[in-house]
Amino acid sequence: MQAANKLKKQLTAAKFAEEVLTWQHQHGRHDLPWQQPATPYRVLVSEIMLQQTQVSTVIPYFQRWMQALPTLEALASANEDEVMALWQGLGYYSRARNLQKAAHYIVHELNGKFPEELESIQKIPGVGRYTAGAIRSFAYDTYGPIVDGNVRRLFCRIFGIEGPPTSSAVNKELWQYAETLTPEKNNRRFAQGLLDLGATLCTKRNPSCQDCPFASSCVAFQEQRITELPNPKAKKAIPTKIGHFLWIENLENNSLRLVKRPSKGIWASLWSLPEVSEKPLEAELKGSFKHVFSHYKLEAKVWAMTSANVEIMNHLEEANPEYQLPTDAVADLENSKTLNSLGLPTPIRAFIETHWQTKAE
């Protein structure tokens, strides 16, 4: 293939793997929490958490998760609110829901037997091509090609791959390189080496090319095009949306109304202040906040509802029938334990904590 031909001019696949393995042994990361022990469950949880999330952010979440849900069976039988609470603050909450789906799938449909083949691993909910390869490599130490942001940057520079870095053409070429270069042995260390090279040496800015084992053959380094490879992404403007949330206090028992959001869409399956499509008629502004998502900015207004709560909630249910409004959808904020047992979006939680403190004084 094209990848193999380009490769031959520079270095063979065997030589490439040998360099990665040697470098990883001497300079790679060996103390990440999910490396010891690298069981399939621990690798699965860590890889899902690490999707689009930095290592330093994941570590405390991973530790807390393993403390609470140490096995696949524990996750499968856990309460969804507990799962979402453990995930709260990590973002991309469908990952948490998929992770529990994955546990259900393996425990109940695969008889608790974690799959071992690349194709069967990729059938796990939330597991794509990258994560399947990572599980093969890290959990079983078997052949499992990986292409993530680190590998993309590393390969685009070493082999001088041009084009939009996430386009299908570049993506296809990157996976061809990965399949060609991945060895049949020492896959755990090889995969870790690729990630470590990208994360600690071949960084986005100011890469340490003087310490790189591939400096002599790296297209980007030899041609001094480090800042041009991979090609920068085309940036797109993101829209701003207005959101309306309700602040409904029950003064009799000092509680605040929360609702569980739908299982699809933004903040799926998390608890939140009730959201409505338009500003309520009789309400005064309790406060506002802004929040930035990947694909839009949210300008949120929180409206205080002071009376006729029953009517308001009936109206809310009619307007948003997809919202669950069970009788337990009330958090008594005199007891912060109740709040901490539920998963709430970060800005919603921050707003509640701020305004509840103010009131208590």
Q: CB-hemisphere CA count at 13 Å for 46?
A: 22
Tokens 């393995």 locate to: 21
Q: Which of 181, 160, 156 is nearest to 171 (CA)?
A: 156
> Which residue in 22, 91, 140, 280 binds DNA (CB under 7 A)?
91
Of the residues 115, 193, 198, 207, which one makes contact with DNA according to CB under 7 A: 198
| Position 29 contacts DNA (CB under 7 A) | yes
Query: In the set 22, 39, 57, 254, which binds DNA (CB under 7 A)?
Result: 57
22 forms part of the interface with DNA (CB under 7 A) = no
Catalytic residue among 47, 173, 249, 275: 47
Tell which positions 259-278 bind DNA, by CB under 7 A.
264-268
* DSSP string over 177-238: HHHHH--SS-HHHHHHHHHHIIIIIS-SSS--GGG-TTTTT-HHHHTT-TTTSSPPPPP---
For residues 249 and 303, what is the distance between their CA atoms, to the nearest angstrom? 11
Candidate segments 16-24, 65-73, 209-217, 285-293, binder of DNA by CB under 7 A: 285-293
Nearest to 247 by CA among 326, 306, 290, 329: 306
- Taking the complex as a whole, the smallest distance from the CB of residue 73 to DNA amounts, in Å, to 21
Strands 255-257 and 240-250: antiparallel
Report yes or no: 292 and 306 within 8 Å, Cβ to Cβ: no
The stretch among 42-50, 180-188, 210-218, 308-316 that binds DNA (CB under 7 A) is 42-50
Identify the residue whose tokens are 């597991």. 127
Amino acid at 105: Y
3-state helix, strand, coil in the chain (%, to 5): 50, 10, 40
Asked whether position 118 contacts DNA by CB under 7 A, the answer is no
Least distance CB 75 / DNA (angstroms): 16
| Stretch of 66-74, 162-170, 210-218, 309-317 contacting DNA, by CB under 7 A | 162-170
**Rg of the chain in Å (alpha carbons):** 24
Q: Is 148 in the site for DNA (CB under 7 A)?
A: yes
125 Cβ neighbours under 8 A, 6+ residues apart: 98, 101, 102, 105
Contacting residue, 18, 39, 78, 92, with DNA by CB under 7 A? 92
Place of tokens 């800005």: 347
Rounded to 5 degrees, what angle do the CA atoms 114, 115, 118 make? Answer: 145
82 is catalytic: no
User: Nearer Cβ to DNA, position 126 or 274?
Assistant: 126
**Position among 15, 63, 77, 232 found at the interface with DNA (CB under 7 A):** 232
**Is residue 39 involved in binding DNA (CB under 7 A)?**
no
Instruction: Indicate whether 70 belongs to the interface with DNA (CB under 7 A).
Output: no
Kindly state whether residue 235 participates in binding DNA, applying the rule CB under 7 A: yes
Asked if 94 touches DNA (CB under 7 A), the answer is yes
Q: Residue 6 or 129: which CB sits closer to DNA? A: 129
Spatial distance between the Cα atoms of 108 and 340, rounded to a whole number of angstroms: 30
Q: Residue count at the site for DNA (CB under 7 A)?
A: 59
Q: How far is the CB of 127 from DNA (least distance, A)?
A: 6
Q: Of 119-138, which residues contact DNA (CB under 7 A)? A: 125-132, 134
Structure tokens at 158: 């070493």
Catalytic residues: 47
State the residues that interact with DNA by CB under 7 A: 29, 32, 34, 46-47, 50-57, 89-94, 98, 125-132, 134, 148-150, 153, 167-169, 192, 195, 198-199, 204-205, 232-233, 235-236, 264-268, 291-295, 345-347
